Amino acid sequence: MQGILAVRHGLPITGHLARVITPLPGLDDTSQALELQQSFLIRIIVSNRAFLDTATFKVTIQSHCIELQSSSRPFKSSATTLLPRSGTMYEDWFAAMAKDPDMPTPEEVNVIKEFIDGKMTADAAAKQCTSRISLEETNPDPTLIWSLLEDLAVEFFETQDKVVELLTAIKRLPDPIRNGKEHRINSQKTFSDLGYFRADFGDYFRGLKFADPESFHYGSNVPVITSWARVNAFSARLTTNLVQDLRIYALETIADALDEKNLKESRTREFFLPAAANQIIFASYPLWNLRNDAEAKERMDAALEWNGWKTAFEGLAENAEVSSETQALLRQAVVAMETVAKDPKRDDWQGKLEAYAAQYGASLEAAREP
């Protein structure tokens, strides 16, 4: 039995036997998980709470122990890959969303599921899940789609790359025309600006931040402490892929994580540090490029912040009061920061952002808000 591991940031994989702990929807024990591996050629995702011990090649995440024989030579992967879908939790979640009056129509929910399952392209899914909104609604409003995609990205972490891909495709759609003009929501164009997405995401983000870490948010099956780490990874991915510039949330999370009063207590320390690490792991290039943003420089010394973050993360990664799982994430963040600093193309992201904004007329919002 052979397995392939997709690892963030192209970290090298070495060794021959991988012991993987991963949240596989609907699987309750190791034997079921192993049976699934034998039935499907799959790629296992290294999730947001994973780490690599390169000496023994052990990958640890959350639950379900699976042993896989890896390829006989070291290899690299620069992107995570979606798991084939199986399991009642995943299926039941989509079934519940299709019945929820506060979510898109059942047909639209099914289109999104078909895309996540790899049964249609992002462009086809984007067109189909928004066609009713575009053609039939007097005041086109895609916010229910935004809500579904936010929930999906947090409930099933491994779908985040696909959710980002779908949102990118939606941004390419022509905006609905009403009264001879492109329809807008809060001055933002319906699709090309993802009208009201930023505000909707902000409500979701802060709802998790101020919730009880041990509770379950909005009927989710995922504890708030895990959802908070995941929503920060999602925010970072949206920024890196130019879906929305959400660096303001990254700065907020990192500041909270390094706040002395939060570091003093285990509960807050373990809540904020993994989230902050995820922001840097998944948005290291956009965060580096704060130094190239003239307006951001007016309110922060980006270079000093970057060096301060790195020093703090290095120290916390060796702090015995920090859990081993969080220490591992912090080490990943430090590696990401070191990788960016050495990359001769590290400044390219800002240029891409400005070119995108010029092409689509989008505003440069993040990291400039008070």
**What's the predicted TM-score (pTM) here?**
0.75
Neighbouring-strand partners of residue 216: 223
The pLDDT assigned to 262 comes to 96
Q: How far is CA 329 from the centre of its chain?
A: 15
As a whole number of angstroms, the distance between CA 116 and CA 78 comes to 20
Give CA–CA dist 328/310, Å, rounded. Answer: 14
Nearest Cα to 57, choosing from 37, 82, 78, 74?
Answer: 74
* pLDDT score at 186: 86
**CB-CB neighbours of 212 under 10 Å:** 10
Residue 254: predicted pLDDT: 96
Q: Can you list the residues of the chain whose pLDDT is less than 70?
A: 1-87, 217-220, 293-304, 359-370
Look at residue 90 in the predicted model and tell me its pLDDT.
87
Question: Phi and psi dihedrals of 21, rounded to 5?
Answer: -115, 115
Please report, for residues 61, 260, 350, the alpha-carbon distance to residue 9 in angstroms, rounded to integers and kept in the order given. 17, 30, 19
- What does the alpha-carbon distance between residue 360 and residue 174 come to, in Å, rounded to a whole number? 11
Q: Is 154 exposed, middle or buried (0-12, 13-18, 19+ CB in 10 A)?
A: buried
Residues in the chain, total: 370
pLDDT of residue 19: 31
> CA angle, 155 as apex, 150 and 161 as ends, to 5°?
65
Cα gap 349→346, rounded to integer Å: 7
User: Which H or E run includes 59?
Assistant: strand 58-60
161 membership: H or E segment, kind and range: helix 160-171
Task: Please name which of 40, 53, 39, 69 lies closest in space to residue 7, comparing C-alpha atoms.
Answer: 53
The backbone torsions φ and ψ at residue 284, rounded to the nearest 5 degrees and listed phi first, read -65, -40
Three-state secondary-structure class, residue 20: strand
Between CA 357 and CA 352 the distance in angstroms is 8
pLDDT in the model for residue 297:
57
| Contact status, residue 316 vs residue 273, Cβ threshold 8 Å | yes
- How far, in Å, CA of 145 to CA of 76, rounded? 34
What confidence score (pLDDT) does residue 218 get? 59
pLDDT single digits (tens) 124-149: 999 999 999 999 889 899 999 999 99
- What ranges do the domains of the chain cover? 4-69, 245-353+363-370
User: 219-245 burial, b for 16+ CB within 10 Å, e for fewer?
Assistant: ebebebbbbbbbbbbbbbbbbbbbbbb
pLDDT at 221: 74
Give the residues across from 18 on adjacent strands.
Answer: 68
